[in-house]
């Protein structure tokens, strides 16, 4: 495992360009600031996790805060730097960087006219860390949840039991291959190999076979995208589904359908939400059948003045969160203006 990590680490570093961080930064910023006139300048430096190695060609993604403008995607230059003259109406943004299979954490920035905002984004390629397995155990014959099933990994003494909905969580797992074991009286025991990835969650659906049935067990495994892990999507999904406060749709589910737009997909799959032009309306609770306009967020940034379809295409969506009221909204999306609920889209 150590050899595999060192090999991946070496390849990641080889793909980056080693450039002294102080060289040329001041002059480039000054020249760009002059080109921006009285406007603000955003200067982003993309580096590896240590901060010592630059990432030329890394993709920088930027979402404006409370500004009616399309998101920006651009590539860092040979020195790992991305610069942009900020539109006059923009006062803030959320941004992150992507490089290969890695990505940075999100950063929230504010802008002032005539000033330069410097941001350093570090691609998460460092070693260490653990992974997690979240699963659902069902009866293979009836498809009903199996409660109180014992779930463990062969090399760990600790075990967990599935809850009343057949769900379980194994956290703090070492990276690599493991053998998952699931047991429940009345069912044939299950053993299944699963791979744990650093900082990611493997989501499993397990179909246990009743001891008297002649059929094969069913195990489906999906590794969750890093972007959704970093933004906390799956934590909210876990508790939102448990408490019934939201609906959560991932790219795996979305790709089964051929909807023309994000708005159409949501209205087709969530009966309580309907479209009126570019607006999504909540038809429950406040204002009843007439509908109440729902707040829209893309990558955590509110979208004002135009619909979700104008901010993101369906094939760009990694996950959707739909909340049908102010109660149950996560703190990051709680606002008095969101009394009708919110639709939150996360891009790939």
Report the 3 state secondary structure along 192-216: EEEEECCCCEEEEEEEECECCCCCC
Same domain for 51 and 139, yes or no, is no
Contact 178, 155 (CB under 8 A): yes
Point out the domain boundary residue: 73, 103, 122: 122
pLDDT level of residue 284 (50, 70, 90 thresholds): confident
Q: Where are the alpha helices (DSSP H) in the chain?
A: 2-14, 25-35, 226-230, 233-243, 251-254, 262-269
Same domain for 243 and 154, yes or no, is no
CA distance 162 to 204: 13
Predicted local confidence at residue 129, as pLDDT: 62
The predicted-structure confidence for 110-151, as pLDDT tens digits, reads as follows 898 889 999 999 887 544 467 778 888 999 989 899 999 999
Same domain for 232 and 328, yes or no, is yes
Among 24-28, 54-58, 182-186, 334-338, the range scoring the smallest mean pLDDT is: 24-28
314 versus 8: which is more confidently predicted?
314
Judged against a pLDDT cut of 50, whether residue 16 lies above it is answered with no
Contact 217, 148 (CB under 8 A): no
301 versus 10: which is more confidently predicted?
301
For 51, list phi and psi in degrees, rounded to 5: 90, 0
Same domain for 72 and 93, yes or no, is yes
CA distance 177 to 180: 10
Chain centroid to CA 244: 20
Predicted local confidence at residue 182, as pLDDT: 93
- CB contact set of 91 (below 8 Å; sequence gap of 6+): 65, 66, 67, 110, 111
Point out the domain boundary residue: 197, 223, 249: 223
Domain total in the chain: 3
Predicted local confidence at residue 334, as pLDDT: 80
Predicted local confidence at residue 239, as pLDDT: 78
pLDDT level of residue 81 (50, 70, 90 thresholds): very high
Same domain for 89 and 177, yes or no, is no
Same domain for 52 and 114, yes or no, is yes
CA distance 114 to 34: 9
Judged against a pLDDT cut of 70, whether residue 11 lies above it is answered with no
Same domain for 190 and 108, yes or no, is no
Residue position matching structure tokens 């979208």: 303
Same domain for 88 and 6, yes or no, is yes
Same domain for 185 and 234, yes or no, is no
Select from 233, 305, 256, 246 the least CA-distant residue to 265. 256
Residue position matching structure tokens 């990694």: 318
CATH of the domain at 278: 2.170.130.10
Point out the domain boundary residue: 165, 191, 223: 223
pLDDT level of residue 177 (50, 70, 90 thresholds): confident
- CB contact set of 114 (below 8 Å; sequence gap of 6+): 38, 39, 40
CA distance 341 to 153: 40
* Mean pLDDT computed over every residue of the chain: 78
Percent of the chain that is helix, strand, coil (3-state, to 5): 20, 40, 45
257 versus 224: which is more confidently predicted?
257
pTM of the model: 0.48
Give the residue numbers spanning the domain of 21.
2-122
Among 27-41, 52-66, 105-119, 323-337, the range scoring the smallest mean pLDDT is: 27-41
Class of residue 154 by CB neighbours under 10 A (exposed 0-12, middle 13-18, buried 19+): exposed
Instruction: Tokens for 20, please give them.
Output: 């002294």
CATH of the domain at 108: 2.60.40.1120
Judged against a pLDDT cut of 90, whether residue 43 lies above it is answered with yes
CA distance 53 to 9: 12
Same domain for 114 and 26, yes or no, is yes
Same domain for 259 and 239, yes or no, is yes
Judged against a pLDDT cut of 50, whether residue 345 lies above it is answered with yes
Same domain for 144 and 92, yes or no, is no
């Amino acid at each position: 495992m150590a050899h595999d990590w060192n090999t991946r680490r070496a390849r990641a570093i080889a793909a980056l360009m080693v450039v002294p961080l102080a060289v040329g930064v001041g002059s480039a910023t000054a020249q760009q600031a002059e080109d921006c006139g009285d406007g603000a300048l955003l200067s982003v430096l993309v580096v590896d996790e240590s901060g010592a190695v630059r990432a030329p060609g890394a993709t920088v993604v930027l979402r404006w805060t409370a500004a009616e403008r399309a998101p920006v995607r651009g590539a860092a230059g040979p020195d790992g730097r991305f610069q942009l003259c900020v539109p006059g109406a923009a006062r803030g943004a959320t941004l992150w960087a992507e490089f290969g299979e890695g990505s940075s954490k999100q950063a929230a920035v504010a802008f002032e006219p005539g000033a330069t905002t410097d941001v350093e984004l570090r691609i998460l390629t460092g070693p260490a860390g653990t992974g997690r397995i979240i699963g659902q155990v069902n009866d293979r014959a009836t498809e009903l949840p199996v409660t109180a099933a014992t779930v463990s990994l062969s090399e760990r003494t600790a075990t967990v039991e599935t809850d009343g909905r057949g769900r379980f969580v194994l956290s703090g797992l070492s990276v690599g291959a493991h053998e998952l074991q699931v047991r429940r009286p009345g069912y044939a025991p299950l053993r299944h190999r699963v791979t744990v990835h650093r900082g990611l969650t493997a989501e499993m659906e397990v179909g246990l076979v009743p001891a008297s049935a002649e059929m094969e067990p069913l195990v489906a495994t999906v590794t969750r995208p890093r972007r959704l892990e970093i933004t906390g999507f799956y934590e909210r999904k876990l508790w939102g589904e448990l408490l019934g406060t939201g609906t959560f749709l991932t790219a795996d589910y979305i790709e089964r359908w051929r909807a023309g737009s994000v708005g159409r997909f949501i209205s087709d799959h969530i009966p309580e939400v309907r479209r009126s032009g570019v607006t999504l309306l909540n038809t429950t609770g406040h204002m009843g059948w007439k509908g109440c306009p729902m707040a829209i967020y893309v990558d955590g940034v509110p979208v004002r003045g135009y619909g979700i379809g104008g901010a993101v295409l369906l094939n760009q969506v990694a996950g959707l969160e739909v909340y049908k009221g102010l109660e149950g909204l996560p703190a990051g999306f709680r606002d008095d203006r969101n009394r009708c609920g919110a639709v939150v889209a996360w891009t790939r």
